Amino acid sequence: MKNLILPLFGLALLCLTTLLFSCGEREDQTTTNMKEKAMELEAPVADKIPEELEIHGDVRTDHYYWLNDRENPRVIEYLKAENDYLESVMSHTTELQEELFTEIVGRIKQDDESVPYYDKGYFYYTRYETGKEHPIYCRKKESLEAEEEVVLNVNELAEPFEYYNVTGLSVSPDNRYLAFGEDTLSRRIYNIRIKDLHTGDILPDLLPQTTGTSVWSADSKQLFYNLRDGETLRAYKIYRHELGTDTQQDTAVYEETDNTFTAFIYKTKSNKYIVIGSYSTLTQEYRLIPADDPRAEPTIFEPRDRAGNLEYSIAHIDDKFYIKTNWNAKNFKIMVTPEDRTSRDHWEDFIPHRDDVLVENMELFNDYLVVQERKQGLTQMRIMEWEGEEHYMEFDDEAYVVYPSVNRELDTEVLRIGYSSLTTPNSTFDYHMDKRELTLLKEQEVVGDFDSKNYESKRKMVAVRDGVEVPVSIVYKKGTPLDGSSPLLLYAYGSYGYSMEPFFSSIRLSLLDRGFIYAIAHIRGGEEMGRHWYEDGKLLKKKNTFYDFIDCGKYLVENNYADPERIYAMGGSAGGLLMGAVVNMAPELFSGVIAAVPFVDVVTTMLDESIPLTTGEYDEWGNPNIEEYYHYIKSYSPYDNVEAQDYPPMLVTTGLHDSQVQYWEPAKWVAKLRELKTDDNPLLLYTNLSTGHSGAAGRFERHRETARNYAFLLDLAGMTE
């Protein structure tokens, strides 16, 4: 996230803001660590203005509800004062932060280029230039020896803006036009623009307030796109735009009226169908429009079955659809149906359900079906001939991740995959399915003296309190003591069925090379061990997620992977909720915690349907309008369970324009922690006043926040030299 630490307020200015918060005078300090500085400096203290919130006969008094107003100048002043306080407490780490930033950025290959992929007569690739923050998208016609065409230079477009991000690049079937979404606020609301690749001109067509994703009709004259609601940010409406016409004349093709669903759009790999999808956490539904008949009415594939929690996704080839579904299959299976008979009564099993294998994805080719599966927590690639044999790709690492990369062609024997492990940089391979041969195309270069042989990874199964075994992936530099004297950072997410993969990170080397051990806890709430892993860590079983993380931390201490006085925890977004719950439940376990954009005010947010994305979250956390869910959520919601006890040192980050977790959640949480905690440990809040959930968009500046996070940990560990 971009470093926007602001200058210290003068004492006079601070005194003007004491209506809503107060802050003590700051003086030059000679102390050299955060704990001492936190004891000597007086932190901003938010004023308490009670707001009573009542439901189900239960009254909660929220003293910091007033922070829920980004238009209030005093709120901004408070956030700036918190930034100033952080700068003061961490001022002695300025040189360390710069050193960390320099080495992290120094490992990034500046003049880098992706492996080209072929699509409709062109080789497409992305490259970066030295010193430039943003990508340059390029193509070459028919041959890699052809002259380069710059499709989009994002650096040029980003120049006028403090924040700029591009998404959803979509080239028309005739190869002439490029549609792309641009966000200049970091709110994930994109305006779609269209570039004429023949002339280089940006057309006057401007499609506002979208998800950034768009799909072309077969004749390259119609563009389908997805509108966001201006208040809730829910993607809910699909429009069709005719090139060169006024957007006010665009036709609404589909509207999702159920506010627990979002709408999305894509084109099948066969290019035959434009697909409109409706998605909720536990149910999906699809509609089809022939790409060569863009004005046709969408036809439903299979109606949603909310009561039965029917989940499915579809892929098309020849005259058939292949369906990944949980219909009578907890871990999903693959079914097939003729394209002219898509209702469920025509679906037939193609790959049956297996209790020990989770079906995650599929990639279709003329002669092959490739299935991405997960078994015992690890991804695997199953290669199946439509008529013939099948086999699995084999890998040597103990913990790794493999996935299909860009595969636009149907008529090919070559599968493009991505691969990474805790010690292997991100790599791109071509796998020749007919010969069963793997060809390395590129391993991401780590600039400097990096050698993967200098690092070691392990995978442990940790028996937690209810007897379930939770995988933990561990990486460290060879020679790091495993005798209980090494500092360790434990990371996890544990929500939405999102599996935390054991991937390589060059950024992480700044900790490993200084003697840190890094561990990932694959806790319930993810989907690493199958669908049940997700279901046992959500709704009324959500506390399993927190217990798993605590028990994994204890295991790492008891088995000498972590110094009991130097074990740290980190998580972001829903992983930030994890951090908040864990420090309430086991505040003594961790010696420091980083909570990035944390979702911590769960009850209040889930009761406010005007907050972006709330209604789509009911299947994950439960709907607190239902009394049973209300009381369960309240029992773990970090903000509601802050109490008078000692808490570990904490660094909390947020973005003023965050569309996923509103900035006021971490701001309120920090204010309440300050009020009630009984320790003198540093509690720091940083608000990036220019960005949102994902931080800065550039490839370098985002690591300013990484450097600050690492400096926070190293200072706590006594490793600042």
The answer to whether 574 touches 610, Cβ cutoff 8 Å, is no
Confirm whether 640 is domain-assigned: yes
Q: 3-class SS at 327? A: coil
* Token pair 């999305």 in the structure block, residue: 264
73-89 and 664-676 helices cross at what angle (nearest 10)? 60
The Cβ-side half-sphere exposure at 169, using a 13 Å CA radius, reads 17
Burial, 388: exposed, middle or buried (Cβ in 10 Å; 0-12, 13-18, 19+)?
Answer: exposed
Question: How many degrees, rounded to 5, is the angle at CA 124 between CA 446 and CA 380?
Answer: 60
Examine the pLDDT at 698 and tell me if it is beyond 70: no
Specify the range with the lowest mean pLDDT, choosing from 21-25, 496-500, 505-509: 21-25
d(Cα 488, Cα 508) in Å, to the nearest integer?
A: 12
Q: In this predicted structure, what is the pLDDT of residue 677?
A: 97
**Contact, 406 vs 416, CB < 8 A?**
yes
Question: In which order are the strands placed within the sheet that holds 136-141?
Answer: 117-119, 122-127, 136-141, 149-153
Evaluate whether residue 253 is within a structural domain.
no
693 a catalytic residue: yes
Output the pLDDT for position 220: 97
Give dist(CA 370, CA 433) in Å, integer.
10
Q: Which segments of 200-270 does DSSP mark as H helices, in order?
A: none
**Closest to 112 (Cα-Cα) out of 702, 699, 697:** 699
Tokens encoding 380: 């695997």
- Is residue 527 domain-resident? yes
How far, in Å, CA of 719 to CA of 516, rounded?
Answer: 10
Q: Is residue 422 part of a domain?
A: no
Q: How far apart are CA 472 and CA 692, in angstroms?
A: 30
pLDDT over threshold 90, residue 233 = no
Nearest partner of 595 among 636, 639, 663, 651, judged by Cα: 651
- Confirm whether 369 is domain-assigned: no
Q: Quick check: helix, strand or coil at residue 710?
A: helix
Residue 697 CA to residue 416 CA, distance in Å, equals 27
Q: What pLDDT is attached to residue 600?
A: 97
Our separate counts of H helices and E strands in the chain read: 14, 39
Residues 6+ apart with CB under 8 A from 265: 213, 214, 215, 224, 225, 226, 238, 274, 275, 276, 277
Whether this model's pTM surpasses 0.85: yes
Q: Averaged over 565-575, what is the pLDDT? A: 97
Q: Look up residue 454 and give its DSSP letter.
A: G
Residue 69 has pLDDT above 50, yes or no: yes
Average pLDDT over residues 276-283: 94
Output the pLDDT for position 15: 31
When pLDDT is cut at 50, 70 and 90, the band that residue 396 belongs to is confident
pLDDT for 612? 66
Which pLDDT score is estimated for 376?
87
- With 0-12 / 13-18 / 19 or more C-beta atoms within 10 angstroms meaning exposed / middle / buried, residue 6 is middle
Residue with more model confidence, 420 or 26: 420
Decide if 383 is inside a domain: no
Render pLDDT for 178-216 as a digit per residue (tens, 0 to 9): 999 999 887 788 999 999 999 999 999 999 999 999 999
pLDDT tens figures, 520-554: 999 999 999 999 999 999 999 999 999 999 999 99
- pLDDT tens column, 102-148: 999 999 999 999 999 999 999 999 999 998 989 999 999 999 999 99
First-to-last C-alpha distance (Å) of the chain: 24
How do 469-477 and 488-491 pair as beta strands?
A: unpaired
Q: Which pLDDT value is given to residue 11?
A: 26
Which strands make up the sheet holding 358-364, listed edge to edge?
358-364, 368-375, 378-385, 390-392
Structural domain containing residue 98 = 11-105+456-716
- Tokens (6 digits) for 356: 């020990």
Distance separating alpha carbons of residues 172 and 260, to the nearest angstrom = 32
Q: Please give the mean pLDDT across all residues of the chain.
A: 92
Q: How far apart are CA 503 and CA 250, in angstroms?
A: 43
**Would you say 685 and 82 are in contact if contact means Cβ atoms under 8 Å apart?**
yes
Provide the pLDDT confidence category of residue 463 given band limits of 50, 70 and 90.
very high
Residue of 88, 658, 659, 715 marked catalytic = 658
% of residues, the chain, pLDDT over 70: 94
Type of residue found at 602: V
pLDDT at 250 over 70: yes
pLDDT reported for residue 691: 62
* Average pLDDT of the residues in 444-456: 95
Q: What is the DSSP string of 623-686?
A: -TTSHHHHHHHHHH-TGGG--SS----EEEEEETT-SSS-THHHHHHHHHHHHH--S---EEEE
Closest CA to 277 of 295, 294, 253, 293: 253
Is the Cβ–Cβ distance between 523 and 549 less than 8 Å?
Answer: yes
pLDDT value at 488 more than 70: yes
At residue 28, the pLDDT reads 40
Collapse the DSSP code of 513 into the 3-class scheme (helix H, G, I; strand E, B; otherwise coil) and give the result: coil
Instruction: Cite the DSSP H helix spans in 323-364.
Output: none
Could you tell me which residues come within 8 angstroms of residue 296 by beta carbon, excluding any fewer than 6 positions away?
289, 290
Does residue 469 lie in a domain region?
Answer: yes
CB 689 within 8 A of CB 4: yes
> Beta-carbon neighbour count of residue 717 at 10 Å?
23
Q: What percent of the chain has pLDDT over 90?
A: 85
What CATH number has the domain bearing residue 92?
3.40.50.1820
The answer to whether 573 is a known catalytic residue is yes
Amino acid at 682: P
Residue 22 confidence (pLDDT) above 60 = no
The span from the CA of 200 to the CA of 672, in Å, is: 53
Angle at 478 between CA 473 and CA 483, to 5 degrees: 75
pLDDT, one tens digit per residue, over 651-669 is 999 999 877 788 999 999 9
User: Which amino acid appears at position 206 of this protein?
Assistant: L
Pseudo-torsion of CA 636, 638, 644, 647, nearest 10°?
120
Query: 340-376 pLDDT, tens per residue?
Result: 999 999 999 999 999 999 999 999 999 999 999 999 8
Confidence of residue 12 (pLDDT cuts 50, 70, 90): very low
Q: How confident is the model at residue 25 (pLDDT cuts 50, 70, 90)?
A: very low
Q: What is the pLDDT of residue 70?
A: 86
Average pLDDT over residues 566-571: 98
Active site residue 349: no
Which of 241, 316, 657, 693 is flagged as catalytic?
693
Total number of domains in the chain: 1
Residue 519: inside a domain = yes
For 609-639, what is each residue's pLDDT tens digit?
877 667 778 999 999 999 999 999 999 999 9
Residue closest to 262 by CA, chosen among 288, 291, 283, 290? 283
Residue 605 pLDDT: 93
Out of 421, 573, 637, 690, which one is annotated catalytic? 573
Distances (CA, A) of 201 to 24, 125, 141, 255, 572: 55, 21, 20, 32, 40
Q: Return the pLDDT at 31.
A: 54
